[in-house]
Chains A and B, each alone.
Chain A
């Protein structure tokens, strides 16, 4: 599903050049659950952002289902993302001014879905995430765990094929953290490809495969004994 060849990323500020990624090549198959681990600043999030087309690499190649992503324009990327990729962030990234329902609905709005269909779909997903009773609340009125469930609901509401999660449990206590990981795992079992970035060994255990990054390079890869559906 995903294939990268020698992806590199340079950050240039006034006087320093930082190599966030250094010729990273990897392949992720459909239905896989992959965890990316490594110390702070090793380039995990950068890699995830590039995989999610939120950022583009300085050099190297990136294929998504055989299509070359680097060649796409910004607006092509926007329409490519829509419905294909869902994102989950450490800090949830919910819009404070919108209700839970509206936050989850947003990707469908941008897909130009019909209002009635949207409502049905959103309520269905919220129900699945066990947060439907909070639909009319604002994000600030929810606990961290609830907020992350909303964020996941928003990620999956479009029935996307790939979910990219950047430290999804980073801001949660262990109980909520486990809950979120179980949710992601369940989604994976239903066929969604998942890539997470994490510091947590516990979270990594949910993945089929763990990629270790150091100073922008893949240094090793472990396989957990979980079969891919």
Chain B
């Protein structure tokens, strides 16, 4: 009965002031939708790899090397021998599985006439589908990867190659730099979920790999996962590893280093900082924190609006409450009534928010390359958390206005002599300051993210990435070297081509080959593990690398196969006093039969995006490092029509490598893709900053409206006494400008502090600029000025006699 009374009262109160209610509900709905979207996204990021039932006990074995107690290398991968040795020697390890996915993850796959270059190829052990919970749709999970030359493919790949026919038993040909392998399809797995840190499209049986690799300790090209007997044994296993590793350090290389591991829990992998050799572009934990704060800020702004509007309107409702009180309603009943109204308003807003979210989800998924849906609420604990937040919001936003109103003596309300208490006014001011602080901080954050992105994009890379067409290396075939040379010559003969070079990496890719290096003149024979970029003689020239000492490789010198070029960081790492001092020095390089001589030093350049610092880098010709992978053929163009060049290159390619698919990219676009994640993050923060300001302004709008309506008489008097329009505007807006001022004082240091932390994740970061802070302040002031101006204009411009009649 009483509920129906509350219900009627709530509905009438909502419909009585339609504009007001619309602003109120719309503000809440937009705020909720935005916050829900962000929180869903964040929950999704946190849900990575939670689908495995034993995830709590599964750890990835990540290799680390220490020298004199200092970590020199930190990789996501490990070598094949680690896991087997751990199982044999360390008590805590119950089981393990390995995936060789650094070993040709990209290969050309052929089935009948179909020929595609496939990425995400892994070599998985036979227990893979028992170890993890990835779903196998066809095939036996115990045997499908047992024995060499078997392959399990995803549904997507099955559709791509077999178009509905049953793939089981069919043969796929895999071609890589080293040769060709025919594998039988023995299983079909479901596409790996988006929230998995690995997403293989094809898993070839581990035994297909060369036998010598199985126990080998010197190529860190597999991902090893161990299942511990209990999760708390992690430390114990980590600590026991270095001592165990000593007996496997059979070769000279890296003898002086301590071989250690870090065990990272499966669920932690995605949001931990990116290491070298990661199979995925990782999420960023500090970005997640910023996003959570953003979501909560937006929710708070929306709820503060609701509170402020309800309290402001309470003047109008004072009479109703007075009558209710006079008719015997207790304070508690009044509070209950307001809570009920809050529930109704929030409920309507929530339903609208769900609709909005549903409408925005596809675009948001597209932006973030994720697969978000309402299901995330169920599969993670987000659902419960949202319910809790919602309940808290309903309670707080209803409770405060209720206590304000129910605390006033009924007779005061009936007589209409009710004005807000000092306390209520102060609270309202604090809430407005909070809103403005949040909006300002978000705006500053947006600008800083944007500035960092611009900085990274516009910074001089020290290497030329434009005007370059990169072809992916062909699969191995007969007379490979001859054909390659001939093709290079033909490509170079094209009028629009300036240079052609073959290399193991191009700017924007990780240099994945590490070799241990010893300076011959170093009596301590200290070995260092350094990145080695193999190429032909044209590479340094083609990429415009700047020499600070010596020279590069040259065709006519002939004997450059035992020569080597360093970057400045490598010079420092190897302990040379200067680039000049390094010239002529000799290095012993792992796997090379003779010492190599330093002939040149190039200036440090950004091999990868500016998130990453400079690393020591060595350049050597492929001739003496022939076991290293050649991955790219870079075609440097000059005044070319890119489309035309691609066409011409493909024609040439098809004459030499008809059995390899022709795959290419333009280097500048490729390099830019490294910033995709930062860009998405920036866009999300920007979008939500705009939303926050919009909602704040909606709130300001209503507050100023109420403030004006209660001061109409005063403004009339002032006008009669000769106040000018500007003076009246100042009088009406002053309070709000003071509040904005306070918010500025709080928000600027706050955003400086938060964003300084965020920028710390970048090795190369933008400098602080005054406009990061000035623009948000000015923008917010202008928007507020317009809002206040618009609202006060009516009061200011009306005839004073009418304002005075207001009573």
Contact = CB atoms under 8 A, between A and B. Distances in A.
Interface of A: 49, 52, 54-56, 74-75, 78-79, 81-83, 87, 89, 91, 93-95, 97, 106-107, 110-111, 154
Contacts of A94: 717
B802 A55 contact: yes
6 contacts: A52-B720, A54-B800, A78-B722, A79-B722, A81-B722, A82-B722
A39 to B, nearest CB: 18
B408 to A, nearest CB: 18
B719 A78 contact: yes
A55 B801 contact: yes
B797 interface: yes
B718 interface: yes
A111 B724 CA distance: 10
A93 B801 contact: no
A110 B727 contact: yes
Contacts of B714: 95, 97
B801 A54 contact: yes
Contacts of B799: 54-56
Given A95-B714, A110-B727, A54 B721 contact: no
Given A81-B720, A97-B714, 5 more contacts: A54-B799, A78-B719, A89-B804, A93-B717, A107-B722
Contacts of A81: 720, 722
B27 to A, nearest CB: 30
B234 interface: no
Contacts of B807: 91
Nearest to B723: A110
Interface string B771-807: 0000000000000000000000000010111101001
A52 to B, nearest CB: 8
B713 interface: yes
Contacts of A79: 722, 724
B802 A78 contact: no
A125 to B, nearest CB: 14
Interface in B681-729: 713-714, 716-725, 727
Contacts of A54: 720, 799-801, 804
Contacts of A91: 807
Contacts of B801: 49, 52, 54-55
Interface of B: 713-714, 716-725, 727, 797, 799-802, 804, 807
Contact of B724 (A49, A56, A75): A75
A95 B722 CA distance: 14
Contacts of B720: 52, 54, 81, 87, 93
Nearest to B800: A54
Contacts of B802: 55
Contacts of B718: 95, 106, 110
In this complex, the member of A52, A55, A97, A111 whose beta carbon has the largest number of chain B beta carbons within 10 angstroms is A55
Q: Which 6 A-B pairs have the closest CB atoms?
A: A82-B722, A55-B801, A54-B801, A110-B722, A49-B801, A54-B800
Nearest to B719: A78
Contacts of A95: 714, 717-718
A152 to B, nearest CB: 13
A77 B572 CA distance: 80
Contacts of B727: 110
A107 B725 CA distance: 15
A212 B716 CA distance: 28
Contacts of B722: 78-79, 81-83, 107, 110-111
A40 to B, nearest CB: 14
Contacts of B716: 93
A8 to B, nearest CB: 16
Contacts of A87: 720-721
Contact of B721 (A49, A75, A106): A106
Contact of A93 (B723, B724, B797, B804): B804
Contacts of A74: 797
B91 to A, nearest CB: 79
B797 A154 contact: no
B721 A154 contact: yes
